């Protein structure tokens, strides 16, 4: 079956013979151009061909633009400044709008502006002031549908109906139009624009000055497009009217014919074919019903899907691997997939780069940002960025000096490129900060860095025209393969669950022709059908497990294919790996450069070693987990759910509790039960603390249920504190460190142990003034041991990690002036159990509450030294836990069970 790009290449050769030098081929992405050049030869290697020029649609807009695209982060910062200026113009006494609190909203505003411009909507009509309701009587320039939607929208937001949320939205909405125009004026004055504005400016300028197209003697071939924004539709029209365009649409009559108008996949193609007739005849586009072999496979896990690849590939031993594509709908399956590809496949071409977030430089930057977060001095963003850049550059130099170009060369080159990428990202932020537009606190800066890291990959360089093709869904556009295997074809993965990241309500978006969830679904439907329509062997796998990505259901596209097509579809179920080189965790020999990987460098260039309670707990639960996280520096995947995760809920509580008690510390630290009683009587007392905590943790939106849970936890804490009587608060969220001497003969003589204690207070326990070392826990259950030794010997899923952490905090505090003369009581405050009448936070050893840690300190310190020495011992491998119960929710599961 002839591929789509081959049809295009043959048609161009027929039209322009061997001279395509005045032809510009425009693709949705770059990849298709690499294949097109080879196909233009069509076996005539001895005949010279003048190749056309290849552009992406974005590059074509840039070519005709007099403006330059501005950095999105810089544009977002400008939106915040403009909003602050407009708010003060209306209400001079209003508090300043801080970028830290407004950044997430500004990102949404930029998204909306970009969508408005790409779809050439009337911003003045869309962002109509809510107080201008009467003006709707004279709206001749609007369609009847738009008028009705606006009437309904303004009725719902009647200015007379007051509420805090309504008022906040009203204030924002009424400023969107002035911000939109002010932002465009400001950027244009500097020769800049955000992407949507640049695209709109190009088509408006070309519409007013058609001579620019007439003077261009090139022919433009638009190849493989589907959904067109209004700016793209207008650009195509201008080229068509100038007689300088050829349009090559890739489709199948299966989903574009009039009798199948209900098919989402053909939603945009039907309109495009009417507006811009195809340069290729209809006879080439009836292929899908001729697919030779279709398999729909239900797999028990994502890993099982990946491991089935080997046996499937072995069915085609004599074929060219380049004609086979493995398509990842869930790209998190990439790592287990690479381990599952058989040795017989010599070449593999990856279209997706290696995630920057999985490299060691990200760990370095995260640690540096954590250090800045703990500093008490006033935060200065430029100083922080300069420090981060210097650390990254120092790390890069150390990597180059330590590199041995042997078997580790690939990883060394990969990590070296990662350092370069990170340095570029940080310099990008520094330029914005130097322009005085990035005034944020450390928490927001950390969030921006993480966002940039998530968006960044390290591209693989290789021969894209050779080897097995492994790609994501977007990279398949315009390409055809004889054999296609798609992994994770699950509902909520393909198509993805639409997210409403917009301040423009759905009805307004639909009325003004902006992007809607239905449009996004139709786009993915087209990607699916276009990919499979010319293949001969098709295998579609989906994950039946509901704990993975998606709900354990096959995609609606598979169901549609089963119901609507007459294709012979074979159904299979696989529940165990068909081929596996490792089906259980195995120990890892410690790398020769273990000490180098774990070392840190102080300001004077000296190496030292530091361990946190979390790191030691991780090792005691699973040494392999410690290896992946702290030695290799692999980052855990971020949760896909937009709901607040349990650990974030805990952070919100910690922040709110810290803010509340920090105010008492500023007043001397004495806590009076009468004051706590007054706080509890006010039902809205904790609202400002909780609101600030949500902002500090970068949690956006109105999470009423989660806020209520935090409020309940705070009240449980205060009720418990009331029972203590009058007591003294000594510290909250304070970091302590000790130097721990290791046994003689250890890899290093000493290490630093450092941890941050939630709260330290001085209370009367049975008449004895006792220093409590208190750790808050929003989840979990109480733990007990018979003796201190069990904190180190009971490992794996049964490890008493909460107790271990709190005892370690006592050890960090023991020799400080604050602890002098007082017994220390380690305490765990389990908020989910604190409402019980018999609840006690004090830890127990052999069923006895520990009211003075000092008697246990020598044993604790001795075991700590032995534990750290074991971690650093090069002869002691990283071993899997004895029982695999701990593996069930491990983020690195796929690395062990390959």
Q: Exposed, middle or buried: residue 137 (CB in 10 Å: 0-12, 13-18, 19+)?
A: exposed
**pLDDT value at residue 24:** 96
Instruction: Return the axis-axis angle of helices 267-275 and 517-532, rounded to nearest 10°.
Output: 80
**762-774: string of b/e by CB count within 10 Å (b at 16+)?**
ebeeeeeebbbbb
**pLDDT value at residue 182:** 95
Helix (H) or strand (E) holding 23: strand 23-27
What is the DSSP secondary structure assignment for residue 832, as one 8-state letter?
A: T
Residue at token pair 């007082």: 822
In whole angstroms, what is the distance from residue 707 CA to residue 713 CA? 10
Q: Tell me the Ramachandran region of residue 29: left when phi exceeds 0, alpha when psi lies from -120 to 50, beta otherwise.
A: beta
**pLDDT value at residue 508:** 82
**pLDDT value at residue 70:** 95
**pLDDT value at residue 321:** 84
For residue 50, report the phi and psi dihedrals to the nearest 5 degrees.
Answer: -75, 115
User: Would you give the distance in Å from CA 150 to the centre of its chain?
Assistant: 35
In whole angstroms, what is the distance from residue 223 CA to residue 44 CA? 23
In whole angstroms, what is the distance from residue 688 CA to residue 693 CA? 8
Residue at token pair 């072995």: 314
**pLDDT value at residue 413:** 72
Asked whether 591 and 597 are in contact (CB, 8 A), the reply is yes
**pLDDT value at residue 579:** 47
Closest CA to 23 of 205, 249, 216: 216
Closest CA to 490 of 350, 643, 328, 295: 328
The string of DSSP codes covering 184-202 is HHHHHHTTEE-HHHHHHHH
Helical segments of 333-461, H only: 334-340, 360-374, 381-402, 409-434, 442-454
Regions of the chain short of the pLDDT cut 50: 130-131, 133-134, 136-137, 159, 163, 405-408, 577-582, 639-646, 701-702
Neighbours of 663 (CB within 10 A): 10
Closest CA to 482 of 293, 334, 308: 293
In whole angstroms, what is the distance from residue 14 CA to residue 25 CA? 15
Closest CA to 329 of 464, 491, 447, 188: 491
User: Would you give the distance in Å from CA 385 to the centre of its chain?
Assistant: 22
**pLDDT value at residue 168:** 67
Asked whether 747 and 874 are in contact (CB, 8 A), the reply is yes
**pLDDT value at residue 640:** 41
**pLDDT value at residue 641:** 40
Helix (H) or strand (E) holding 155: helix 144-156
**pLDDT value at residue 228:** 95
Q: What angle do CA 193, 197, 199 make, to 5 degrees?
A: 110
Q: Three-state DSSP class for 737?
A: strand
For residue 537, report the phi and psi dihedrals to the nearest 5 degrees.
Answer: -125, 115
Q: What angle do CA 658, 662, 666 make, to 5 degrees?
A: 175
Q: How far is CA 160 from CA 90, 131, 175, in A?
A: 19, 10, 19
Longest pairwise C-alpha distance within the chain: 99
Asked whether 272 and 240 are in contact (CB, 8 A), the reply is no
Helix (H) or strand (E) holding 683: none
In whole angstroms, what is the distance from residue 57 CA to residue 122 CA? 24
Instruction: Return the axis-axis angle of helices 72-90 and 164-189, rounded to nearest 10°.
Output: 120
């Amino acid at each position: 079956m002839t591929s789509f790009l081959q049809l295009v290449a043959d048609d161009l050769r027929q039209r322009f013979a061997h001279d395509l030098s005045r032809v510009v081929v425009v693709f949705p992405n770059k990849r298709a151009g690499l294949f097109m050049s080879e196909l233009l030869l069509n076996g005539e290697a001895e005949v010279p061909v003048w190749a056309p020029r290849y552009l992406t649609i974005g590059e074509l807009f840039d070519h005709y633009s007099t403006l330059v695209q501005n950095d999105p982060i810089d544009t977002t910062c400008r939106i915040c400044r403009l909003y602050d200026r407009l708010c003060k113009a209306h209400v001079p006494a209003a508090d300043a709008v801080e970028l830290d609190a407004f950044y997430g909203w500004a990102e949404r505003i930029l998204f909306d502006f970009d969508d408005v411009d790409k779809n050439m909507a009337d911003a003045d009509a869309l962002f109509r002031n809510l107080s201008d309701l009467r003006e709707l009587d004279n709206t001749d320039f609007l369609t009847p549908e738009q008028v009705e939607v606006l009437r309904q929208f303004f009725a719902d937001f009647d200015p007379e109906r007051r509420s805090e949320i309504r008022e906040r939205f009203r204030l924002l909405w009424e400023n969107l139009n002035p911000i939109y125009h002010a932002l465009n004026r400001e950027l244009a004055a500097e020769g800049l624009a955000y992407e949507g504005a640049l695209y709109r400016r190009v088509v408006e300028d070309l519409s007013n000055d058609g001579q620019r197209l007439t003077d261009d003697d090139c022919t433009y071939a638009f190849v493989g497009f589907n959904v067109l924004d209004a700016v793209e539709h207008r650009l195509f029209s201008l080229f068509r009217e100038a007689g300088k365009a050829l349009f090559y649409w890739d489709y199948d009559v299966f989903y574009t014919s009039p009798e199948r108008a209900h098919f989402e996949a053909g939603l945009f193609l039907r309109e495009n074919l009417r507006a811009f007739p195809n340069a290729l005849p209809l006879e080439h586009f009836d292929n899908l019903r001729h697919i030779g072999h279709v398999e729909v496979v239900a797999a028990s896990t994502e890993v099982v899907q990946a491991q089935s690849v080997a046996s499937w590939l072995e069915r085609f031993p004599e074929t060219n691997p380049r004609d086979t594509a493995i398509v990842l709908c869930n790209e998190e399956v990439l790592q287990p997939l690479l381990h599952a590809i058989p040795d017989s496949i010599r070449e593999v071409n990856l279209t997706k780069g290696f995630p920057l977030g999985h490299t060691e430089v990200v760990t370095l930057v995260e640690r540096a940002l954590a250090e800045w977060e703990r500093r008490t001095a006033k935060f200065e963003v430029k100083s922080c960025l300069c420090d981060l850049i210097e650390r990254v550059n120092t790390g890069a130099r150390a990597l180059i000096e330590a590199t041995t170009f042997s078997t580790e060369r690939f990883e060394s080159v990969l990590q070296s490129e990662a350092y370069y990428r990170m340095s570029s990202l940080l310099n990008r932020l520094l330029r914005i900060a130097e322009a005085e537009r990035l005034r944020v606190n450390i928490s927001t800066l950390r969030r921006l860095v993480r966002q940039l890291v998530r968006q960044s990959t390290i591209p693989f360089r290789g021969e894209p025209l050779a080897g097995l093709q492994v790609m994501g869904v977007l990279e398949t556009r315009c390409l055809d393969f004889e054999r296609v295997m798609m992994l994770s074809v699950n509902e909520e993965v393909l198509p993805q669950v639409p997210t409403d990241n917009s301040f423009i309500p759905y009805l307004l978006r639909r009325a003004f022709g902006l992007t809607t969830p239905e449009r996004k679904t139709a786009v993915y439907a087209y990607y699916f059908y276009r990919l499979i329509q010319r293949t001969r062997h098709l295998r579609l796998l989906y994950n039946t497990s509901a704990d993975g990505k998606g709900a354990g259901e096959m995609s609606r596209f598979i169901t549609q294919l089963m119901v609507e097509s007459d294709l012979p579809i074979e159904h299979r179920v696989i529940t165990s790996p068909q081929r596996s080189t490792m089906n259980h965790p195995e120990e890892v020999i410690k790398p020769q450069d273990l000490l180098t990987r774990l070392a840190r460098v102080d300001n004077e260039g000296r190496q030292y070693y530091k361990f946190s309670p979390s790191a030691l707990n991780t090792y005691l639960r699973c040494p392999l987990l410690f290896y992946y996280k702290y030695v290799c520096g692999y980052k855990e995947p971020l949760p896909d759910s937009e709901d607040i995760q349990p650990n974030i809920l805990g952070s919100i509580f910690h922040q709110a509790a810290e803010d509340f008690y920090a105010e008492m510390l500023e007043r001397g630290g004495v806590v009076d039960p009468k004051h706590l009683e007054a706080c509890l009587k006010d039902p809205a007392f904790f609202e400002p603390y909780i609101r600030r905590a949500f902002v500090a943790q970068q949690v956006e939106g109105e999470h009423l249920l989660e806020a209520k849970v935090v409020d309940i936890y705070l009240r449980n804490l205060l009720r418990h504190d009331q029972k203590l009587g009058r007591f003294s608060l000594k510290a909250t969220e304070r970091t302590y460190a000790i130097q721990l001497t290791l046994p003689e003969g250890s890899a290093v003589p000493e290490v630093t142990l450092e941890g941050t204690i939630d709260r330290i207070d001085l209370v009367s326990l049975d008449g004895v003034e006792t220093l409590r070392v208190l750790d808050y826990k929003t989840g979990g259950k109480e733990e007990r041991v018979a003796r201190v030794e069990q904190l180190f010997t009971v490992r794996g899923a049964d490890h008493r990690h909460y107790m271990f952490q709190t005892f370690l905090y006592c050890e960090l505090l023991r020799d400080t002036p604050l602890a002098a003369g007082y017994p220390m009581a380690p305490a765990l405050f389990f908020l989910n159990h604190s409402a019980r009448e018999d609840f006690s936070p004090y830890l127990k050893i052999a069923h006895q509450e520990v009211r003075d840690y000092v008697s246990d300190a020598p044993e604790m310190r001795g075991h700590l030294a032995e534990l750290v020495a074991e971690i650093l011992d090069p002869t002691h491998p990283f071993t899997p836990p004895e029982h695999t119960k701990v593996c069930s929710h491990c983020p690195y599961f796929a690395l062990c069970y390959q």
